[in-house]
Amino acid sequence: MPMQPLSQVLILLAAAVLLVTLARRLGLATTTAYLLVGLALGPHALAVVASTATTRVLAELGVVFLLFTLGLEFALPRLIAMRGEVFGLGSAQVAATVAVFALLARLGGIPWPAAVVVGGALAMSSTAILLHQLTERAEINRTHGRLAFSVLLFQDLAFVPFLALASALTAGPGRFDPRAALTAMAGGVLAVAAVLAAGRWLLRPLFREMAHSRLRELFTLAVLLVVLAAAWVSSLAGLSPGLGAFLAGMMLAETEYRHQIESVIRPFRDILLGLFFVSVGMLLDVRLLGGELAAVAGWLAAMIILKTAVTALVARPFTGSRFKALRTGIVLSIGGEFGVALGTIALATRLIPVSFGQPLLVAIVLSMILSPLILNNNKRIARLLLRESGPPRTAFERESAATREIGKRDHVILCGFGRVGQNVARVLESQGFEYIALDLDPARIAAARQAGDPVIFGDSADEEMLVTAGIGTASAVVISFSDPATSVGILHVIRRLRPDVPVLVRTQDDARIKELQEAGATDVVPETFEASLMLVSHVLMLLHVPVSRVVRTMGDIRSHRYAVLRNIIRRGDARPLDESHEFREEIKSVVLPPGAWAVGRTLRDVRGHGVGVTFTGLRRHGILGREPSGDTVLRDGDVVVLYGQPEELERAESVLLAG
């Protein structure tokens, strides 16, 4: 009796929750957990969950949402500045890789046209896996991450002619119509133009209307409509649906609604992307892997080694560094979903023999399953291959080493690096105090690391993370989370490790002050009451009350636990301030790629183009300089740290990258 769909879903969810939690505890990527879920529960193992058309569509939507959110980070000026890498490096990588593997296939007895299809299948890398892993590791804006992203964009475009070639070979030599192929390519160009035009002239008015409605569900529906419509238009033209979604996101990156859109789309992206990784795990046939182990291992080794070598060679002129070129090659060495699609078509239509095609397909899927291991260790592998050792060489390693050194000295631990935590950090920094922050938001961590802040990805309630942050030598701890339950859990862990360290806790009001104090808080700051006290102090001074009396009054109110401030009458329709409001000020880091307009120009030149943000820092070769002067000349690879309102930040990024 077949298992009910609800039972399948429950088993899938239970396995995912268990393995993702275990992966986090072991410090592994969540991608590994999802791949193992698909491998264990898929049709080739326990056969609990079947790979149906519906699950495949949902999995593809995860890739679509991922590329859309990535497009939100890549405004059009940045893509224009990267055009040399996208079309120069991308075309060189695809052409060279296809040539090498087509020659291997020809030596294996495959006719030249079909051998080119095999080369195209092996040249492709997984856009979803690579971008997810690079973003999670905060490497998407580093040199090897930027180059890998450029190649992936070109591969998405190159998939169309390879698919057309495979279809033409299937139809037979007498049925191939060159005009139909040209029409298909023209349709792809028109689809890209349509998405770009709609993004330029239609999306901003649409989201302005949605924002004015103040209905969150309407805004969410509008975001889903835009993403899926862009993917649909791209798919109709024979292009990757994710490419259309990326272009739509890139257009919306230039609007003031980018942050709210990203917040809305993230839950859909994370859940569906997890399903995509599960579907990849389902593709691996363990029985075939055992029966054709030698052939599979040979193809897997050839694919990883040759793709790494070829990509490193063609990337060398774009980096000026053997180490960065090799890291780019290692990152792009895995297979991809487009390669699986081309291989499946070639195998199903007998373009290649079964004995040749099945081990090839298994090798591609196996490389995708092994991708977390390869990507997480790309730096170590590159060093090993180049026989490099010694002190940290990359900016990321230098920053990590500097953070560990801070943990050995007197410093403050900030639990949470949101708006409050960042404000505390700025004041501590201005007064000469060192700090280490802990946070669980990957995007915030990536932005903070680029800005030069000593921030660690980790749970503040985890003993190991607190030890890593230097709880043994910390002079104070600040818990900036607004949820008292979260703060209580962190307090219990801190008191087990350091009973004597002062701990300052933020809370919204005084409802659970006693509980926080009993859990070990040295002092509790109710932010609503403190804001009221600050306002009252200003009012009293405007009324010419002596400063000494104002200070004494504030002290009395605090000593009586804000009793005088508790008797208030609340509005019936009161609701909290939306922290994603478009007019808030924030920090943004912009990486200057080769060809950016600002390279070779000074910050004063940038200001002369109407840029109204504050330049708070400039990071070069891993070294951060605060408040750079207007005469500072910008260079390729610089990370410019900006501070201002979202629309001002977008304007500044546009000027820096394209002028």
Q: Which CATH architecture has domain 57-386?
A: Up-down Bundle (1.20)
Q: In what order do the strands lie in the sheet with 639-644?
A: 586-591, 639-644, 614-620, 623-626
Which residue is associated with the tokens 């690391």?
449
Count of all residues that appear for the chain in the document: 659
pLDDT at 336: 87
Check whether 1 has a pLDDT greater than 70. no
The DSSP bridge pattern shows strands 476-479 and 586-591 to be: unpaired
Which tens digits make up the pLDDT trace of 74-127? 666 777 777 888 889 999 999 999 999 999 999 988 988 899 999 999 999 988
% of the chain at pLDDT higher than 70: 87
Q: Is pLDDT larger for residue 236 or for residue 123?
A: 123
Other Cβ atoms less than 10 A from the Cβ of 382: the count is 24
Check whether 580 has a pLDDT greater than 60. no
Taking a C-beta distance cutoff of 8 angstroms, is the pair 417, 440 a contact? no
Distance CA 563, CA 567 (A): 8
% of the chain at pLDDT higher than 90: 15
The DSSP bridge pattern shows strands 623-626 and 412-415 to be: unpaired
pLDDT at 185: 62
SS3 78: helix
Which tens digits make up the pLDDT trace of 617-646? 888 877 778 888 889 999 888 888 888 877
**Tokens in use for 593?**
């790629």
Q: Is pLDDT larger for residue 336 or for residue 582?
A: 336
Quickly state the pLDDT bin for 328 (edges 50, 70, 90): very high
pLDDT at 427: 81
User: What does each C-alpha distance from 317 to 91, 148, 151, 216, 245 come to in angstroms?
Assistant: 14, 14, 14, 48, 31
**Sign of CA pseudo-dihedral 357, 359, 361, 367:** negative
Check whether 549 has a pLDDT greater than 50. yes
The DSSP bridge pattern shows strands 412-415 and 435-439 to be: parallel
pLDDT at 659: 54
Mean pLDDT across the chain? 81
pTM > 0.95: no
Quickly state the pLDDT bin for 579 (edges 50, 70, 90): very low
Check whether 390 has a pLDDT greater than 70. no
Q: Give burial (CB, 10 Å; 0-12/13-18/19+) of 554.
A: middle
pLDDT at 398: 61
- Residue 338, phi then psi, degrees to nearest 5: -70, -35
User: What does each C-alpha distance from 4 to 16, 49, 69, 298, 472 come to in angstroms?
Assistant: 18, 10, 34, 40, 53
pLDDT at 207: 81
Does domain 395-521 fall under CATH 3.40.50.720? My reply is yes
pLDDT at 459: 83
Beta strands in 207-303 (DSSP E): none
Which residue is associated with the tokens 């291992």?
297
Quickly state the pLDDT bin for 187 (edges 50, 70, 90): low
CA angle 84, 87, 92 (to 5 degrees): 110
Quickly state the pLDDT bin for 602 (edges 50, 70, 90): very high
Q: Is pLDDT larger for residue 66 or for residue 417?
A: 417
For range 24-30, the mean pLDDT: 73
CB half-sphere exposure, 538, CA atoms < 13 A: 5
Residue 422's contacts (CB-CB under 8 Å, 6 or more residues apart) are 587
The DSSP bridge pattern shows strands 614-620 and 639-644 to be: antiparallel
H or E stretch covering 455: strand 455-457
DSSP state, 256? T
Common-topology check for domains 57-386 and 586-658: no
Q: Give burial (CB, 10 Å; 0-12/13-18/19+) of 566.
A: exposed
Does domain 586-658 fall under CATH 3.20.20.10? My reply is no
**Count of H helices and E strands in the chain?**
31, 10
At 574, the amino acid letter reads: A
**Domain spans of the chain?**
1-47, 57-386, 395-521, 586-658
pLDDT at 115: 92
